[in-house]
């Protein structure tokens, strides 16, 4: 970085600052949590001043909501919109999440944010709730496509199973998704008539 790219405190200037702030939030919020991440630390990692950070995000709450909005970069489309899989296979593919740095899937950021924030009216909590509802709807739509007799119920069951697997993986520091996938297969097979 040249001297011209640096601001008065040796920090990088505003060009690309918003993306650097979001990138830093994704790293820090995932690794140490929302509440344990202060704006000073976030600004240091993003190489921006606090003034610049607050020009892009009115407050930390707004940044947390944006962090959640950016978290699912095509993951749902990568499962539910696949044309190479049958609807049943797409339902099971939901239980093959991408792995984290240590090989285990990190706790779902939507669950983590809701637990940390304790405020159902917080913008991030509302976004997490909407996202989780959307996942259950996508599961139900796929279950309907697969011929499930009660697709809404199956969608809710699978959504609950996904959330439980994510939480259990984090708590036990051991992969729970293979077990969840086996349970999902039983639920799916019981919900879809053999003629479907």
pLDDT in tens, 50-96: 999 999 999 999 999 888 888 765 667 778 889 999 999 999 999 98
DSSP class of 6: B
The values of phi and psi at residue 36, to 5°, are -85, -5
- Each residue's pLDDT tens digit, 135-166: 999 999 999 999 999 999 999 999 999 999 98
Predicted TM-score (pTM) of the model is 0.78
Tell me how crowded residue 41 is: count the other CB atoms within 10 A of its CB. 13
DSSP three-state, residue 88 = helix
* CA distances (Å), origin 54, targets 13, 106, 125, 147: 14, 28, 21, 50
Left, alpha or beta for 47 (phi > 0: left; psi -120 to 50: alpha)?
left
């Amino acid at each position: 970085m040249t001297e011209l790219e640096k601001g008065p405190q040796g920090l990088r200037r505003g060009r690309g600052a918003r993306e650097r702030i979001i990138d830093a939030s994704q790293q820090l919020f995932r690794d140490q949590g929302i509440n344990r991440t202060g704006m000073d630390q976030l600004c240091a990692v993003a190489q921006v001043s606090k003034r610049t950070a607050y020009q892009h995000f009115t407050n930390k709450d707004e940044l947390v909501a944006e962090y959640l909005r950016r978290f699912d970069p095509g993951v749902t489309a990568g499962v539910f919109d696949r044309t190479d899989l049958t609807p049943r296979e797409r339902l099971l593919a939901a239980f093959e999440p991408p792995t984290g740095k240590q090989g285990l899937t990190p706790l779902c950021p939507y669950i983590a944010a809701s637990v940390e924030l304790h405020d159902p009216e917080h913008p991030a909590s509302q976004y997490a709730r909407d996202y989780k509802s959307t996942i259950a709807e996508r599961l139900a739509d796929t279950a309907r496509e697969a011929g499930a007799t009660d697709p809404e119920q199956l969608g809710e069951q699978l959504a609950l199973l996904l959330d439980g697997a994510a939480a259990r993986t984090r708590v036990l520091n051991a992969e729970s998704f293979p077990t969840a996938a086996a349970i999902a297969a039983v639920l799916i097979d019981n919900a879809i008539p053999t003629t479907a």
